[in-house]
Amino acid sequence: MNNSDFIKFMYDAGVLTFGDFTLKSGRKAPYFVNTGNYRTGEQIAKLGDFYARRIIDSGLKPDVLYGPAYKGIPLCVAAAIGLSKYGVNVDYCFNRKEAKDHGEGGMIVGHQLKDNDKVLIIEDVITAGTAIRETLPIIKGQAEVDILGVVISIDRMEKGKTGDMSAVQEVKENFGLDVYSIASVVDIINAIEEGVLPVDRVYLERMLEYRKLYGVE
């Protein structure tokens, strides 16, 4: 899998954009990733294929894909469809924001988690680990499952909330979960350098400056 293909795909879909962005952390970033901008069947099918290949390449063998509401919902469904095209059939599920108090009730839609299920969380990016912190009690409140890790689109590779660890490294430190990314900020920088992305070269300088300020390896 060529990481520059994924970067170009995100850019063409309007998911990866360049400009002046203020993040929740207060940092001024020259780029932004918003997976909420995927909007066509063709895009979501291709995205599912990228996630599927990353899961397969990682050697992970989940029983269930879990997508945290809301952005994780289409991602986990797309990834499950993508895996099926490679002959890997997995269940998927996601949470409601509020438990349903009528009909079948419950918090989880799709596969009903049970003891010993091997669960893989599907996310977009990890900025501060907040979504993971909220997700784990929901999953573990359903059954004694085995959480294999988290798959994300982009590893921003920048300092998290505390110290010099990245948000991804903090997830490993705090929750014992490995995070597998399809690509990273370094791939974005390389794509600009190599002319894969038709953006003003000024953003290459700004990306390098931002990485010098906040980046971690």
Residue 135 domain boundaries: 3-214
125 or 101: whose pLDDT is higher? 125
**Torsional sign, CA 15, 16, 19, 24:** positive
Is residue 103 pLDDT above 60, yes or no?
no
Average pLDDT over residues 123-148: 90
Beta-sheet pairing, 28-33 with 16-22: antiparallel
* Selected catalytic residue, list 24, 97, 102, 212: 102
Q: What is the pTM of this model?
A: 0.93
Type of residue numbered 60: L
Work out the average pLDDT over 100-119: 82
Provide the pLDDT confidence category of residue 157 given band limits of 50, 70 and 90.
very high
As given in the structure block, the two tokens for residue 52 are 């599927």
Residue 104: per-residue pLDDT: 54
Predicted pLDDT of residue 24:
77
Name the catalytic one among 28, 61, 85, 100.
100
- Indicate if 24 belongs to the active site: no
State which amino acid sits at residue 155. Answer: D
CATH code of the domain in which 22 resides: 3.40.50.2020
| Pairing outcome for strands 91-100 and 64-67 | parallel
Q: What mean pLDDT do residues 65-80 have?
A: 95
- What the block records as the tokens of 207 is 């990306």
CB 70 within 8 A of CB 34: no
Q: What is the number of domains present in the chain?
A: 1
Question: Rounded mean pLDDT of 188-203?
Answer: 95
